[in-house]
Chains A and B, each alone.
Chain A
Amino acid sequence: MVELRNITKDMMTVVEGSYAVAHATKVCKPNVISAYPITPQTHIVEELSQFIADGEIENCDYINVESEFSALSTLVGSSATGARTYSSTTSQGLALMHEVLFNASGMRLPIVVTVVNRALSAPINIWNDQQDSVSERDSGWIQLYAEDVQEAADMVAQAYKVGEDPDVMLPVMVCMDGFLLSHVYEPVVLLEEDLIDDYLLPFDPKYKLDPKDPKTFGAFAPPASYTEFRYAQEQAMSAALDKIEKAADDFYDVFGRYYGGLIDEYKTDDADIIIMAKGSIIGTIRDVIDNLRENGVKVGLLKVRALRPFPKDAIKEVVKDSSVVITLDKNISPGVNEGALCTETKACMYNSDINVPVIGYMIGLGGRDIPEDTIENIVDEAKEVINSGISTESQFTDLREDLI
């Protein structure tokens, strides 16, 4: 459950989502920022470059580059020297980083990147879905998804806490929905500068790229040792499961705000129907659940905060006593006709004694609005599944037949 301790109106400021994220990044004291502007991420890096120009971030270089490929490459080198590093991107920009994503995770560099989720071309579309980051889920990066502006900002600090942990040492994507969070103005508590040192330790990795103590980084690994590097990455991801929970708990202790660890739950205790999703759609789902609960429908929410590492055990624990699980995905793997949550939730229950039907919906693609009615209709379909079994396992939502 979301917990907010002692927060009063006086502590809050109404700012744009991008500003809140940029401010939180500033408070985390990065040493190198490198980014390339792209809608809808641009405001974050604009705000950060303004902070730098105003001398508000000490001991930090903002390195201008000509592409996202260069932005992340710059951070790979910087992070190896022991610098705390940050970038932000979206969609085509993240796709252009693809090759370097694997270098960052393979070299075990805890870079933090805010991904402002946007659809991928073609057809060109600048609006929100989560295809960009979901498509990178095998890149070895931890992926966290924020529900609202406050969480997207606070998650930056949590990302450094998890990624820089010596047992983890992995880069982290903090994902927030484009426009729906990046461009919305909400009352938030700007991440508290006076508390950050109680939460984040200085970044001090075991190995640093330093000409005075030369070492080779990202060395060659032949067939005789490559497997073991991949194994070590998987071990680090496993270790991150507990660290993500702990980072959220510690954040609550210091700042008094909690949004869940790997997952969060809302009214799941007696729920027959569980709706699973990630990102800003969670807010709409909470309202739908409140409405339906008034009519006696036993429906609950399983909010997924971490897609990587995928919290299999936490998910199974929540859904095991339910009658049906609905997955809402702002992404699709064409050829499977499923979004990531649908495929992976089904997969984690197979080979277990949990036998709960899962139905998947691709929703909100390319920024299509998701009204409450749409989710209520999906819940109606889930009730049918309880009564008479699955008729359609996974499908597009609100498909416009008039255009096909």
Chain B
Amino acid sequence: MTISAGGVCEPGTTKNNKTGGWRNYKPVFLYDKCIKCKLCELLCPDEAIDPREDGFFEYNYDYCKGCGVCANECPVSAIEMVLEEK
């Protein structure tokens, strides 16, 4: 990667920066409680939640910063924030 004068970036280049390392707490789905309402996917500020073929969702931990919005908003408490020891 080289920098451009003034820091002009092409679209999508934030994918190059894997920001999952910023995380302290890691969200984990409790699939037996999940009602597939999709709220977590819609609200994730980093688009780090991907749909699965079976209708459930999974995390892309390369980009999840552990903000906890998904766990806070989940209507059935199906997301647990687990302290990540590094």
Interface residues of A, Cβ cutoff 8 Å to B: 106-109, 169, 206-207, 214-221, 225, 228-229, 232, 236
Contact = CB atoms under 8 A, between A and B. Distances in A.
Interface of B: 3-11, 13
A275 to B, nearest CB: 38
Contacts of B8: 207, 215-217, 219
Nearest to B1: A225
Contacts of A214: 11
A232 B5 contact: yes
A131 B36 CA distance: 64
A236 B11 contact: no
A214 B12 CA distance: 10
Contact of B6 (A217, A220, A228): A217
Contacts of B5: 108, 169, 206, 232, 236
A232 B4 CA distance: 9
Contacts of B6: 106-109, 169, 207, 217-218
Contacts of A106: 6-7
30 contacts: A106-B6, A106-B7, A107-B6, A107-B7, A108-B6, A109-B6, A169-B6, A207-B4, A207-B6, A215-B8, A215-B9, A215-B10, A215-B11, A216-B7, A216-B8, A216-B9, A216-B10, A216-B13, A217-B6, A217-B7, A217-B8, A218-B6, A218-B7, A219-B7, A219-B9, A221-B3, A228-B3, A229-B3, A229-B7, A232-B5
Q: Closest 8 CB pairs between A and B? A: A108-B6, A216-B9, A207-B8, A107-B6, A219-B7, A108-B5, A219-B9, A214-B11
A218 B6 CA distance: 6
A206 B5 CA distance: 10
A10 B1 CA distance: 58
A220 B19 CA distance: 13
B45 to A, nearest CB: 15
Contacts of B3: 221, 225, 228-229, 232
A348 to B, nearest CB: 27
A150 B57 CA distance: 69
Select the residue from B8, B10, B11 with max chain A CB neighbours within 10 A.
Answer: B8
A232 B6 CA distance: 9
A228 B13 CA distance: 18
Contacts of A108: 5-6
Nearest to B5: A108
